[in-house]
Each structure stands twice: as structure tokens, then as C-alpha cells.
Amino acid sequence: MSDITVLKSFSVWDRTTRWFHWINFLCVLSLIIIGVLILNSKALYISFTGKFNLKVIHVTIGYVLISNLLWRIIWGFIGGYYSRWRQFSPFNFAFWSSLKQYISGFLSKKGAPSYKGHNPLGKIIIIAMFAALITQATTGLVLAGTDIYYPPFGNNIKAWITGDKPNLDVSELTAYNINKHIDLKLFADMKKFRRTYVNIHLYSFYTLSVLILIHIFGVIVTEIREKNGIISAMFTGKKVFPHDKDPVD
């Protein structure tokens, strides 16, 4: 007769957190694909118009990502127990103690402790991904303003490169149109200012991509070793554990 493992489930991820996760996933995936196309537009023989349209789509999806991210930040203060920011905080002695215990258990035969929410290593990756996403969002808004004059900084950039002429309606200015109203020296200064944000945005993109791969690898390893339904939990909100195992909060 085969042994039957009795499982017990715990509600972990609330609906808002699950919606955030999948909206964020779709936005980031779309932004990565479009970003790669923009970066390689010459090699792919994408026309000027095509590249411009890709930038508009990229920025539009970026607005969705930022809105979703802002809501998640708020939800971290008012949401479910496992969605709160205090569940991710590495700035206390208890966290570093649990991290040491988790790594020690993971590397030993007895195995690492099971967690209802994120395990200590997962918490570090999640915080790092949030930091990278915030960096991407912030620099992306600046780049949208300096490149195609999109909100919230577009009009400020227009005013800058025209010398803030009092009688000029900056809405008349369009992207990639160097007309008589634009001061070429100020325009060059703006481009120099923009370069810093381009570099930060690019390297933050590389960092975020690596973190995503680590996150996916960690989820797969955890699913295989602990069999706790961590993947399905982001659909159902519930993790499962053997009845005789008492997972850590």
C-alpha cells in the first residue's frame, strides 16, 4: 500500500498581490522585448518611424507599470499579512539570523525551513527587484521627457531647450524636430544631462534581467525541493505543506 501524504494549505498571497505580480510580469516582459528592439533598431533595419512608434508603445506600457508599482507600494502598508513591507525587511537581527539558518539548512541533508511567505533569500531578491523597478521607472520618466517630450517632464524639457521663452507655446514643439525656437546649446546641454539617465536605465535593465532569472531559478528550485505549490500559489493564493510540517511565517 502506498503512503498517502496529507496536505494542509495556507492562504498567503491576497488577490491584489497576485494581480500586481501578473500585470508586472506582462509589463516587464513587454518592456524588455520592445527595449531590445529599440536598442537593436539599426541591426534589425527598423525605420525611423517604426523606432519612434516603438518608443511611444514602450513609454505607454511604462506608465502602466508605474501605476501598478505605485499601487503595490501603497498595498505594502495596507494589504494582507504576507504582502506587507515588514515581511520583506532585512534590516533587523532576526532576519539575518533566519537567513543564516536557511542557507545552512539548504546546504545540508535536513533541508531548509519552509516558509509560508517568501524565504529569506527570496526576500532579498524581491527587495532588489523592487529597487531595480523603481530605478527603471524613475529614469524612464526622465527619458520619456527628454526624448519624445512625454509627461510628466516633457513640457519642462521643452521650456529648457527653448530658453523658456515667455511667448512660446511649448506644445508646438514635437520630438525630433529641431526648429528655430530651440537653442542648440541648451539642446546639447539637455542631451548631456540625458546621457546619465540613459546609462542608469540601461544598467538597471541588465541588473533587473539578472534578478528576474535568479527569481525564476529560485522559484523552480523551491518548488522541486519543498513541493509547496509556490508557483500555483500565485494563481490560487494558497501554499500547501505536509500535515506534519509547520512552516515559518
Q: Domain with 208 in it: what CATH number?
A: 1.20.950.20
Distance from C-alpha of 234 to C-alpha of 18, rounded to nearest angstrom = 6
Q: What is the pLDDT of residue 244?
A: 67
- In-domain check, residue 120: yes
Give the residue with greater pLDDT, 102 vs 192: 192
| Number of domains observed in the structure of the chain | 1
Q: How confident is the model at residue 1 (pLDDT cuts 50, 70, 90)?
A: very low
Q: What is the pLDDT of residue 242?
A: 78
Backbone angles phi, psi at 231, to 5 degrees: -75, -50
- In-domain check, residue 78: yes
- Check if the beta carbon of residue 8 is closer than 8 Å to that of residue 235: no
Q: How confident is the model at residue 134 (pLDDT cuts 50, 70, 90)?
A: very high
- In-domain check, residue 1: no
Distance from C-alpha of 25 to C-alpha of 28, rounded to nearest angstrom = 5
- In-domain check, residue 124: yes
> Which range marks the domain in which residue 221 is found?
7-88+98-242
Q: What is the percent of the chain with per-residue pLDDT over 70, rounded to a whole number?
A: 98
- In-domain check, residue 2: no
> What is the distance in angstroms between the CA of the first residue and the CA of the last residue of the chain?
34
Residues in the chain: 249
Per DSSP (E only), the strands in the chain are: 7-11, 238-242
pTM passes above 0.85? yes
Poorest-pLDDT segment among 28-37, 106-115, 176-185: 106-115
